[in-house]
Amino acid sequence: MGTWGSGLYANDDTSDVRNTYIKCLEEGLSNAEAYEKTLESLHDYIGSDEEPLFWYALAETQWRVGRLTPEVKKKALEWIGKNGGLEQWEDSANKGAGWIKTLGKLKQKLESPMPPEKKIKKPEELDLNLWNLNDVYAYQFHGKNAVEHGYFGKYMLLQKIGADALYYGNKPMMRVQIMDKVFDHLPSLDDLDGLRILPVDNPIRVNISQDALIEKRIVYKKNPIWMSASMVIFKKSEYPKKHLTYIGNKEGPPNTRINDRELDWGGIDKWLYEFYERWQGIEFDTVGHGEYEYTQNPSNR
């Protein structure tokens, strides 16, 4: 069990129970059905050292959504009376004082009047794979940070180069590459020609003399640079639809796995110009797996 604190949900097990039960309700199951399905899905907890955590999390979650049953309440209070779960704190300096306090608060909650039953809605299905392959869009800077840094109203080009099923329910997320140029006016598809791809990464910080850079190109070894981004949407309002202009569709690079990182649409108005600024004046060429040549000194970036 992964544990990072003495709070009720500061461990993997209780979080798993809570999330499983809530997901059942989101699927439209009745409270009885959600209970049975949670018990069936996580039956390995019963009879194990983690059993008290199962009942604690289920009881607290049921109480919070106005569905605590007498059976679950009884089980949780019985384990609280035995300080269930305290053994995991035997080697701690305070011998689980924080956990005992957590159980005391839980007992007080479960014995207090339960709130009215809350309506549980099925979460909105988010489409994370919005564009067609090779679609090119121009993103226009518009926020407060863009104003402060001189990018307001300017554009950068993004192209979808693939999709990956990573996290967030194994839903495919768009992989995009970003062109390393800022446009004062809305660009066209022809403006892609000759542009390099902007790394969505931080240049290596090095201390090296200018004389050395004049004499030869210096090779720095590191993990492969992130050259594309898997775009995440946490809620529908984060996708900046009105600030994206479709430019056209143009053949991009082969759909092979290149080193990419997860970035969120919600923060694009800031991280986009930050990556752009970090790589200005720095030229690089790939010379091998994990090896890149910089032709200018990135030490101050």
Q: Is the pLDDT of residue 30 over 60?
A: yes
Indicate the helix (H) or strand (E) that contains 75. Answer: helix 70-81
Task: Give the tens place of pLDDT for each residue, 264-276.
Answer: 898 999 999 999 9
Q: Is the pLDDT of residue 16 over 60?
A: yes
E-only strand ranges, 115-243:
135-140, 155-165, 172-178, 218-221, 228-232
The amino acid that residue 290 corresponds to is G
178 φ, ψ (degrees, to nearest 5): -115, 135
Question: pLDDT value at position 209?
Answer: 47
Q: Select from 139, 129, 220 the least CA-distant residue to 178.
A: 139
3-state secondary structure of 111: coil
Strand partners, 163: 174
pLDDT band at 248 (very low <50, low <70, confident <90, very high): very high
Q: What is the pTM of this model?
A: 0.56
pLDDT band at 60 (very low <50, low <70, confident <90, very high): very high
